[in-house]
Amino acid sequence: MNWLSLNWPQVIELTRDHLLLSAPALLLSVLIAVPIGRLAQQRPRIGGALLGAASLLYAIPALPLLIIIPALFGVPLRSPATMVIALTVYGVALLVRTAADAFGSVDPRVREAAVAVGHSPRSVFWRVDLPLAVPVLLAGVRVVAVSTVSLVTIGALIGVPSLGTLLTDGFQRGIPAEVATGIIATMALALLFDALLVAAGRALTPWATIRHERPLPQEETT
Amino acid sequence: MNLFLDALAWLTDPAHWTGPGGVPTRVLQHLAITFAAVTAAAILALPAGVLIGHTRKGAGLVGAIAGAARAIPTLGLLTLLGLALGIGLKAPLIALIVLAVPSVLAGAYAGVQNVDTAITGAARAIGMNPRQIVFQVEIPLAAPVLIGGLRAATLQVVATATLAAYTADFGLGRYLFSGLKSRDYAEMLAGALLVAALALLLELLFAAGQRLAAKRIAAPAHEKGAAESDSPREKEPV
Amino acid sequence: MNTRTKALGALALAAVLTATACSSGDPLSSGESDGDTIVIGSQDYYSSEIIAEIYAQSLEDAGFTVDRQFRIGQREAYLPEIEGGSIDLFPEYTGPLLQYWVPDTEARLSDDVYAALQGATPDGLRVLDQSPATDQDSYTVTKAFADEWSIATVDDLANVTTSMTMGANSEAETRPNGPQGLLDTYGVEVGFTPIEDGGGPLTVQALNDGDIQLAIIYTADPSIAANDLVSLEDTKGLFLASHVVPLASDNVNDEAAEIINAVSAAMTPEDLIAMNSRSVNEELPAETIAKDWLAEANLG
């Protein structure tokens, strides 16, 4: 690993860039997808169309999306904003359906009981629906986190620095160690995100026991 | 929306519909590599997924493999394979298979695992051997979820197959790369619209396939239960 | 307020904070450059990055503040940004840059190209002195192929009776130096396959494997010598002379321009190949290569 010993400061810098692109995109995805998922679950008629449209966004290839976004949002092509918006689009596409399922997984009787003891609709959402939806929601967020971190690499194709820069640079210079470092660092970052989310999930659902720790069959098919 | 009008103009220009670089050829190439990658992934992952779902052993391993595979940046895998294998379709094909495997594996595994144990128990009680249980009970009942896995894999592969043009004169990705590099965004967007249309078409086909599987194969009486609600991708697409 | 609500609140707050942090103080943002900082860009090409890094270090040594925006794509992607004023200094190549602005230019020789380029550069931008260092596109074949068909010049490609495929970045297909230019200027017909590595290792491998017979490879690429490849002589001037030349905005003042001109004057074609070789073979970062060259040239 001659390359790594000579170039590790660059790897650290690019890891930081990578993080600064993926973290906001992940948070925006959650903030956008959760309300849509909730709406879709409450109003299936609008919801079905919403979910269908959202998941089809995932079929847009990344490169053209990166070109369309500046045209639609007026941000410069080669800017972090373009990348964050693109990643958010994919994140929302992946997450809305899980979000709807997550709210669907909340036992309506619990909700009714909460209303019966005098919770306002807002309070039902924040104190009953959302916390109880967390386990399923989290499973979806984990998938989005991993795929977002991995997708950030395509920013290298439009000149937005990330660990993906190591992929294109290593390719041009013919240094496999550089490409491999880019892949491994990306995967490590994805797994780190995943571990943090699992920890966050434990903190957010203190009532949950091991039985909620499912081996995640459902989100693997997303 | 000038850009979109330009893309439509590009698409309706008859000059772009003929010859070796024409739309029909590129669409067929794109479909071919998508089909090849998903088929290969199915051959590799379906038996393993079914086996794991049947024995209910190794679920953690599946989760780990699927998670790790999902974290691999496809662009990175493609460049690394490109350096090792040279130009042509080998590198993108392998990268696409790696992309498709997790979804196929997880669909097969989740589908079979979610078959009600009461049903497999009953099958055993009437004297079916394990082989018959797998092929005549579990796989048919798992079909909707299993197809859901194939469907998710296909959607990912059809969108990502554009990367094949990174190392080969192949598929709709050619329009994206040459459009990007020469600032011909109309060409690029036209390519993207073609890919999205292809994805939509495949989605509709799979949706129909899943409905058929749910009605005919997985038995109409089978309740829309755990098996269905578990997979976010196997529901109505649009 | 119970723990759960607090935790959710904290999560939401963190979300908002991160989202805001992203939109304001982002170090990656590529906004308009102000007067104090010189924004230096480079192509998505390691050699261009090395030259840009040399510019950056020499300006920093003289007390300027620079902002590095390296590896930002091909000419089609970054030139609009330079013309728009968000990048101040960029290592360019005379021939291709002239062809970008004047696609049907007739200039081919180095001085003609440079003179034409000075005239073609838009208002608000200027080219500084061109360097003796050159890095130009060339049609390249393997030694074995050259010997088999006795090829030394591009003209000799007419000797080849089997079908040939050219490998290059996909944009070459629509540029004058691609298959169409070869047909128009030399009457040689070839197929085309895109290899998106800018004449890099995959292209070289494809040449060696016989997947392609002809590739566009930069003359400063160390792989030409390392792989026993032959750059064909361009007798009819399909390729323009291509010297390293800094493209600068008005934000680069006379003092800075003088520093960059000294760098350009000191850089020889051999230096460029040697630096590229250090990048590819010794796997050194651009920063180190630039620093060493500046020290050696007594400019550091």
Q: Under DSSP, is residue C167 helix (H, G, I), strand (E, B) or coil?
A: strand
Q: Which residue has the higher pLDDT, B38 or A97?
A: B38
Whether residue B189 lies within 8 A of chain A, CB to CB, comes out as: yes
DSSP letter (8 states) at residue C122: P
Contact A159, C71 (CB under 8 A): yes
* Mean pLDDT estimate for chain A: 85
CA–CA separation, C104 and C176 (whole Å): 9
Per-residue pLDDT of chain C (300 residues; tens, 9 = 90+): 344 434 434 433 333 333 333 333 333 334 444 457 999 999 988 999 999 999 999 999 999 999 999 988 778 778 888 998 889 999 999 998 998 899 888 898 899 999 999 999 999 999 999 999 999 889 999 999 999 999 999 999 999 999 999 999 888 887 778 899 899 989 999 999 888 877 888 899 889 989 999 999 999 999 898 899 999 999 888 888 999 999 999 999 999 999 999 999 999 999 999 999 999 999 999 999 999 999 998 876
CA–CA separation, C86 and C249 (whole Å): 9
For residue A10, how many other CB atoms are within 10 A of its CB?
20
Closest Cα in chain C to B80: C202
Q: Which residue has the higher pLDDT, B13 or C91?
A: C91
Give me the residues of B, 67-86, that contact A with CB < 8 A: 67-68, 70-77, 79-80, 82-84
Total residues belonging to chain B: 238
pLDDT at residue C116 in the model: 96
pLDDT at residue A50 in the model: 81
Q: Under DSSP, is residue B112 helix (H, G, I), strand (E, B) or coil?
A: helix
CA–CA separation, C283 and C271 (whole Å): 17
Q: Which helix (H) or strand (E) holds C137?
A: strand C137-142
- Over residues A80-106, the mean pLDDT reads 90
Q: Which residues in chain B have Cβ-Cβ distances shorter than 8 Å to A217?
A: 59, 106, 109-110, 113-114, 230
| DSSP per-residue string spanning B53-84 | HHHT--HHHHHHHHHHHHHS-HHHHHHHHHHH
pLDDT-based confidence at residue A209 (cuts at 50, 70, 90): low
pLDDT at residue B200 in the model: 86
Tens-digit pLDDT profile for residues B77-124: 888 888 888 888 899 999 999 999 988 998 898 889 888 889 999 999
Closest Cα in chain B to A222: B233
CA–CA separation, C129 and A2 (whole Å): 37
| Of A87, A180, A147, the residue nearest B156 (C-alpha) | A147
Whether residue B61 lies within 8 A of chain A, CB to CB, comes out as: no
| Of A124, A99, A86, A123, the residue nearest A31 (C-alpha) | A99
pLDDT at residue B192 in the model: 87
Q: Tell me whether residues A200 and C11 touch, CB distance under 8 A.
A: yes
Tens-digit pLDDT profile for residues B184-223: 888 888 998 899 889 889 988 988 888 888 887 665 554 4
Q: Tell me whether residues C280 and A174 touch, CB distance under 8 A.
A: yes
**Which residues, other chains included, contact B93 with Cβ-Cβ below 8 Å and sequence gap of 6+?**
B33, B36, B37, B40, B164
| Of B152, B230, B222, B227, the residue nearest A101 (C-alpha) | B230
**Portion of chain A with pLDDT greater than 90, in percent:** 35
pLDDT-based confidence at residue B32 (cuts at 50, 70, 90): very high
Mutate to test the interface with B, among A171, A221, A222 (most CBs of B within 10 A): A221
Q: What residue has token string 């399923």? A: A136
pLDDT at residue A60 in the model: 80
**Which residues, other chains included, contact C102 with Cβ-Cβ below 8 Å and sequence gap of 6+?**
C116, C120
Q: What is the ipTM of this complex?
A: 0.74
Q: Is A198 left (phi over 0), alpha (psi -120 to 50) or beta?
A: alpha
pLDDT at residue B222 in the model: 46
CB pairs under 8 A between A and B: 179
Q: Tell me whether residues A173 and C81 touch, CB distance under 8 A.
A: no
**Portion of chain A with pLDDT greater than 70, in percent:** 93
For residue B12, how many other CB atoms are within 10 A of its CB?
10
- State yes or no: pLDDT of A182 exceeds 90: yes
Q: Which residue has the higher pLDDT, B8 or B220?
A: B8
Whether residue B235 lies within 8 A of chain A, CB to CB, comes out as: yes
